[in-house]
Chains A and B, each alone.
Chain A
Amino acid sequence: MRENDRVGSLVLLGVAVAACVGAAQHEVGTLSSPGPGLFPLLLGVVLGVLSLLILVRDLQARLAAAPSVPSGGGVAAFGKEIICVLLALVAYSLLLIPLGFIITTFVVFGFLLRFVTKQKWYLAVGWAAVLAVGAYVIFDVFLRVPLPQGVLGV
């Protein structure tokens, strides 16, 4: 399995350019009285150089290794399961306040248990309920971490 550094280095290069542009919008100042923009600007430049070096090295390895092998080898950055989990986590963050801890935990973890860890649906529902209520009791009641009540709190 060979690492694919091309995409990664291009992403880093993009970040570097963005950092330079962003830094330039602040006062860069002079070397004798550096402004808030100077340090991030230099960081951006260094990151840009590094990402180019990584890119060049990757291209070299690509040329040296096997010119006949079709390049690209487009592996998706995220698998389907990972996307599911990430979306579930984002949904969790967004629903936490409006729906409250118990309902959000039940819904999101029920989904995760059913579709990501592939439990049977009644097991998923059961575990999710245990998780939601159990965690609420442990954290909110015993450890006194005030968790959002949401629609259940009146």
Chain B
Amino acid sequence: MEILNYVLYGFQVALAAHNIFACFMGVLLGTLVGVLPGLGPVATISILLPITLKMAPVTAIIMLAGIYYGAQYGGSITSVLINVPGEATTVVTCIDGHKMALAGRAGAALGISAIGSFIGGTISLVGVMFLAAPLAAFALRFGPPEYFALIFLAVTLITNLAVGSPLKGLAMAVLGMLVGVIGMDLGTGVPRFTFGIHALYDGVGLVPVIMGLFGIGEVLSNVEREIKTEIVKTKIKNVWPTFQDWVASRMAILRGTVVGFLLGLIPGGGALISTFASYALEKKLSRHPEKFGHGAIEGVAGPETANNAGSQASFVPLLSLGLPSNVVTAILIGALIIHGVEPGPLMMKSHPDIFWGVLVSMYLGNVMLLILNLPLIALWVQILRIPYRLLLPLIMLFCLVGVYSTNFSVFDVLVMVFFGAVGYLMNRFKYEPAPFVMGMVLCPIFENAFRQSLTLSDGSFLIFFTRPLSAVLMIGGILILASYLLPWFRQRIKVVQENACD
């Protein structure tokens, strides 16, 4: 079988000593930073991004993926032990996980979450392998209109599924695209929105923007917020689940895998929605739903598995279409571009080492997560005790050195500080930074597809609707947009009618 050869090749890449080491370091550092209260996976991957920029592209992406998994697991640890979710996807884990910890079963909660993540990750990896390659082959036939429509649909989906107001999310995506426009126009070489600043000719760097929004911005938001680090005072023991735990959670793990994988394929909040969906599903199917919310192990196992399966599934659009489906994959795409790799359906042919190597290393990362975490949980708990006020300056200094070291440019540092302020304001006024980053990353492809389509059609927008695939995608996007506005219009009409009746 052809795919088997590719998988073997992937193992060959991923098992190279430096790649294994990168994967290990990624998982380790990711967990280490992810465990710090208030820093979710996105902040973790943003802060650690500069470390990977000097590496070969495959190694860098493998390490970033490792950081991502590690940070997610770190988030589960904080959720269970101190009831502080690192990000939205681990909110659900807090519900039953923290209750379990209060009942002295923190070890079991963390153990089942690592094992569930491992099983979910393993199964969905097979799915990713079988889906990504055919999808990439199919996507090779996409022309500019299809790409435009695909991105249009992805952006509407992302803003629709993300937390918070879809209108604001959409505004952030467009704002991100406007920032992405800054710099030399690829078509004509004209500098746009550079304000005569030479450093802007190459565009606004993605690294300082991401580190500003998610690193500095997060730190600023936490300056005012006192995070209570009240750790459950029990010894973490028995991380291996008991027989009853295993019986109770095995179906939850399998269902979580399926739910997570399927929802993770959809751009936008896949991992987020899948955790909630899995929790709801387990509660519904359970023979004792009253236990949920009071430390039911299925309520931890299902969502944690779904979370991991979902984040693996989000690599399908990343590797086969070159499209991000969440912030993390957007950061990975940015990293690929910085390394000079053009993300998209051609990647499987032009950079097979990245395509297959990353897929396989995701699997190895899961194994490492398991062997690293079960024995090291006690160590992570110690890190949780570091007072946040001491961590703030450390994180800031790390961001400053990190962003400076990528280009040795003070301008980049200033850009980071600026976007730190922007990120803080977004947080404060409930604008999501995620669509902003996606907009910024997608902007060049989006604009290119737009301009090429119009040139092809001699200026007619109908080209997006006359080709069948692009028409379906466009209509999907338009329906989603309409769903934001319809309830509002209906309400307006009702008000007008009521007024008329008066």
Check if B401 is an interface residue, CB within 8 A of chain A: yes
**B451-469 interface code vs A (CB 8 A; 1 in, 0 out):** 1001101111100000000
Q: How far is the CB of A80 from chain B (nearest CB, A)?
A: 10
Contact present for A93 and B413 (CB under 8 Å): yes
Check if A131 is an interface residue, CB within 8 A of chain B: yes
Chain A contacts for B177, CB-based, 8 A: 43
Check if A137 is an interface residue, CB within 8 A of chain B: no
Check if A54 is an interface residue, CB within 8 A of chain B: yes
Check if A59 is an interface residue, CB within 8 A of chain B: no
Q: How far is the CB of A64 from chain B (nearest CB, A)?
A: 10
Chain B contacts for A74, CB-based, 8 A: none
Contact present for A34 and B174 (CB under 8 Å): no
Q: How far is the CB of A127 from chain B (nearest CB, A)?
A: 8
**A109-141 interface code vs B (CB 8 A; 1 in, 0 out):** 100110011100000000100010001000100
Contact present for B417 and A90 (CB under 8 Å): yes
Contact present for B429 and A89 (CB under 8 Å): no
Once bound together, how far apart are the Cα atoms of A5 and B164, in whole Å?
A: 13
Q: Number of B interface residues, CB 8 Å?
A: 57
Contact present for A50 and B451 (CB under 8 Å): no
Contact present for A15 and B178 (CB under 8 Å): yes
Contact present for B394 and A117 (CB under 8 Å): no
Closest B residue, CB atoms, query A32 = B459
**Among the listed B405, B410, B455, which residue makes an inter-chain contact with A32, where contact means beta carbons less than 8 Å apart?**
B455
Check if A146 is an interface residue, CB within 8 A of chain B: yes
Check if B502 is an interface residue, CB within 8 A of chain A: no
Chain B contacts for A54, CB-based, 8 A: 165, 167-168, 171
**Among the listed B224, B461, B488, which residue makes an inter-chain contact with A57, where contact means beta carbons less than 8 Å apart?**
B488
Which of A34, A36, A113 gathers the greatest number of chain B CB atoms within 10 Å?
A36
Contact present for B458 and A32 (CB under 8 Å): yes
**Among the listed B185, B224, B400, which residue makes an inter-chain contact with A81, where contact means beta carbons less than 8 Å apart?**
B224
**A13-41 interface code vs B (CB 8 A; 1 in, 0 out):** 00100010011001100111111111110
B400-424 at interface with A (beta carbon < 8 Å) = 400-401, 404-405, 408, 410, 413-414, 417, 420-421, 424
Check if B161 is an interface residue, CB within 8 A of chain A: no
Check if A65 is an interface residue, CB within 8 A of chain B: no
Q: Is the interface of B mostly helix, strand, loop or mixed?
A: helix
Which of B171, B224, B417 gathers the greatest number of chain A CB atoms within 10 Å?
B171
Once bound together, how far apart are the Cα atoms of A8 and B401, in whole Å?
A: 31
Contact present for A39 and B181 (CB under 8 Å): yes
**Among the listed A26, A34, A36, which residue makes an inter-chain contact with B450, where contact means beta carbons less than 8 Å apart?**
A34
Q: Which residues of B contact A (CB under 8 A)?
A: 165, 167-168, 170-171, 174-175, 177-178, 181, 185, 187-188, 190, 192-193, 216, 219-220, 223-224, 389-390, 392-394, 396-397, 400-401, 404-405, 408, 410, 413-414, 417, 420-421, 424-425, 428-431, 447, 450-451, 454-455, 457-461, 485, 488
Contact present for A50 and B174 (CB under 8 Å): yes
Q: How far is the CB of A27 from chain B (nearest CB, A)?
A: 7
Contact present for A89 and B400 (CB under 8 Å): yes
Closest A residue, CB atoms, query B169 = A50
Given contacts A38-B451, A86-B417, 15 further A-B contacts (CB under 8 A): A8-B168, A15-B178, A22-B193, A31-B454, A31-B459, A36-B188, A43-B174, A43-B178, A43-B181, A54-B171, A77-B428, A131-B397, A139-B401, A146-B408, A147-B404
Check if A151 is an interface residue, CB within 8 A of chain B: no
**A71-93 interface code vs B (CB 8 A; 1 in, 0 out):** 00000011101100110011011
Q: How far is the CB of A106 from chain B (nearest CB, A)?
A: 11
